[in-house]
Amino acid sequence: MQLESNLESATLVKRYKRFLADIKLASGEIITIHCPNTGSMKNCQTPGSRVWYTVVNKKTRKYPGTWQFIEVNNSEVVGINTGLANKLVVEAIQNGVVRQIAKFSKLRTEVPYGNENSRIDILLKDEFDTDCFIEVKNISLGVSGALGLFPDAITIRGQKHMKELMAMKKAGARAILFFCVQHTGIETVSPAEKIDLVYTQLMKKALEAGVEIIAYRAAIDTKLSTIKLEEELTVLV
């Protein structure tokens, strides 16, 4: 995926009010940019870190700059824009990257479903004309041992989605929990039991019920301003 504009680099001063970040340019000027992430951003918002951002000048945007990536552990790059996750997964499916979804006849996004007023991120018809419900979750939290964790904060919404996936599976559809890993240093993925025990328990229950849980890691090129899902990772539940 080509980003909306060429990436520019700066140094993170601070993130605040959830949706804003101050960054320091090479000139010394400090500007405010949009932070497209509602999560805790645990381990990926350290002041002084190198960041990359895009700039799009539109009248509808109060802040032209959008924070896209941050460098962690001196060499690893993390994508913090959660708005890209669904697009990355759709692109990977359409390009045949996701081996678990080899063929499909129809793809729709943000489709209402379930009993809890939810919207499924991606709904497919597979080669057997079976509905395939795909819930996408973005992973940016990396810890020691190249382990990626989800969630990075307690997620009531995520718990609801897990229950909905189990209900779809019970009704005869395919149900997939898809982790989009925007972190170049992560090798394996696991639920964050110490952060959200209920979500961890629901994930284990979902796996036992037949919900498929998969993860793919993004390749990030800050020089070419591109990001795309490429490599399947192991999920430890």
User: Is 117 a residue whose pLDDT tops 90?
Assistant: no
The whole-model pTM stands at 0.95
- Give residue 147's pLDDT: 97
Check residue 114 and give its pLDDT: 84
Closest CA to 87 of 3, 183, 188: 3
Helix axes 156-170, 197-209, angle to 10 degrees: 10
Find out whether 79 and 227 touch, Cβ atoms under 8 Å. Answer: yes
Percentage of the chain beyond pLDDT 70 is 100
| Average pLDDT over the chain, rounded to an integer | 95
Rounded to an integer, the average pLDDT of 113-127 is: 88
Q: Are 88 and 228 in contact (CB under 8 A)?
A: yes
pLDDT above 90 for 41: yes
Distance CA 199, CA 149 (A): 12
Three-state DSSP class for 32? strand
Residue 142 to residue 147: CA distance in whole angstroms: 6
Instruction: Tell me what pLDDT residue 192 has.
Output: 96
Domain architecture of the chain: domains with CATH:
8-79 (2.40.50.580), 82-235 (3.40.1350.60)
Q: Rounded distance, CA 38 to CA 83, Å? A: 10
Q: Cα–Cα distance between 75 and 9 in angstroms, integer? A: 15
Q: What is the pLDDT of residue 22?
A: 98
Q: How many residues does the chain have?
A: 237
Q: What pLDDT does 136 receive?
A: 98
Using pLDDT thresholds of 50, 70 and 90, give the confidence band for residue 128: confident
The DSSP H or E segment spanning 33 is strand 30-34
| pLDDT tens string 157-196 | 999 999 999 999 999 999 999 999 999 999 999 999 999 9
Positive or negative CA dihedral for 46, 47, 53, 59?
A: positive
Residue 59's pLDDT band, with cuts at 50, 70 and 90, is: confident
